[in-house]
Structure 1
Amino acid sequence: MPNLKPVRTFALLLTLSFAAPTSLLRADDPPPLSAGQTLYVPTYSSVWHGNLNDRGRPSEILLSVMLSMRNTDPKYSLTLTSVKYYDTAGKLLREYLQEPRTLGPMGTVAYFVEHQDREGGTGANFVVTWRSERPINQPIAETVQVYHWGTQAKAFISRGQAIHPHE
């Protein structure tokens, strides 16, 4: 009589793999729906480059910054309730919203930091809070940093991520 234990074990594992929770995300799955979040978006109002000078500091390039908030839901609106800009030390520099702002389906809004504004520094960030009346596709929050001189420009992006606020 053949040993059926390996066959039974394989059948059990196969059955369990189909019964596994579907809530586990695969890399190609869309993120879960949300009715609101607080997002941390890194940005750089300046970057260091080159060699150290005689004071032991590198040269600094000031960058302009655009925060882009994109509603990725094709059917429902979201409301931005706060857009705060912080410096490298974590000091609040400004709140961009005086009142909530609604973004319609697939809508985008941008907030700007001028290139001569050196307050933010190399570790500046935005903290954005949004909400919706129902769970929707999560928005995309990105900053675009740009340095322009003559006929050339350099640009790069930073993408935000959801955080748990401690209020």
Structure 2
Amino acid sequence: MKNAVLILFLVITFGSCKEQKETTTASTVNWNKRSVDYKISDSLKAGKTYLSVYSQVYSQSEHTTHDLTATVNMRNTSSTDTLYILQAEYYNTAGKLIRNYNKKSIYIAPMESVAIVIDEHDKEGGTGGNFIFDWKINKLTSKPLFEGVFISTKGQQGLSFITQGKTIK
């Protein structure tokens, strides 16, 4: 009986363990499934938003940094109208374009959020990276919300903070 209980315990314990898979992808968005294959109406209101993004932060001095995982959220705040993202460009601390996430315009459905995840090991953005988003919405619709969530955990210590985008056009 003891052996049966031990075997059952081991099966439950090891059967419930999932292999942790390290991801190196810089985006959780399937851009192809979200792409818009038609000309977006000129009657829509165009906007541009700036978002500060941190791949690293300084600690103790300018010679020590902590690497961070960045989650960049693009949120459609309208409950009725679609948000169109024309460009999502990622720049590093020096202002050099690292990557443009969408080759075609994409849509975000009403009240939907879409995230870009920048892996903790991706240090390209540095301590002062940023995104520029070009977008279009219905003229009577509320502006979209762009947020960054940054996190790092080492041992028993954790670091996390957020940033919010600023509409610049």
Which of the numbers 115, 119, 127 marks the counterpart of 1:114? 119
> 2:57 maps to what in 1?
47
Does residue 161 of structure 1 match 2:148? no
Counterpart residue type for residue 155 of structure 1: S
CA deviation after TM superposition for structure 1 residue 85, in Å: 0.3
Contact preservation (8 Å) 1:35, 1:136 = no
**1:36, distance to aligned residue in structure 2 (A):** 2.6
Distance 2:45 2:141 in 1: 6
Match of 1:141 in 2: 146
The separation in 2 between residues aligned to 1:109 and 1:42, in whole angstroms, is 17
Q: Which amino acid aligns with 1:95?
A: N
Q: CA deviation at 1:151?
A: 4.5
Counterparts of residues 1-167 of structure 1 (less than 5 Å): 35-51=45-61, 57-164=62-169
Residue pair 2:137, 2:143 contacting (<8 A) in 1 also: no
**Unpaired segments ≥5 residues, structure 2:** 1-43
Aligned-residue identity in percent: 33
User: Which residue does 2:13 correspond to in 1?
Assistant: none
Q: State the partner residue of 1:26.
A: none
Number of equivalenced pairs: 126
CA distance in 2, matches of 1:152, 1:100: 40
SS of the aligned residue for 1:135 comes to coil
Instruction: Say whether the 8 Å CA contact 2:54–2:70 is kept in structure 1.
Output: yes
SS at 2:146's partner residue?
A: strand
Equivalent pair of 1:78/1:102 in contact (CA under 8 Å): yes
Distance 1:42 1:97 in 2: 19
The residue number in structure 1 matching 2:12 is: none
2:106, 2:140 → 1: CA distance?
18
C-alpha distance in 1 between matches for 2:46 and 2:158: 36
**Could you list the runs of 5+ residues in structure 1 that have no partner in the other structure?**
1-33, 52-56
TM-superposed deviation, 1:153: 2.7
Q: Residue 83 of structure 1 contacts residue 129 of structure 1 at CA under 8 Å; is this kept in 2?
A: yes
Q: Which has the larger radius of gyration?
A: 1
How far the C-alpha of 1:152 sits from its partner, in A, is 4.1
Distance 2:168 2:91 in 1: 15
Structure 1 segments of 4 or more deviating over 6 A? none
- Offset, 1:77: 0.7
Amino acid at match of 1:86: Y
Q: Is the 1:71–1:77 contact (alpha carbons within 8 Å) kept by the matching residues of 2?
A: yes
RMSD (CA atoms)? 1.5
1:96-138 Cα deviation digits (max 9, x unpaired): 1121111111011001111111111111000011102433111
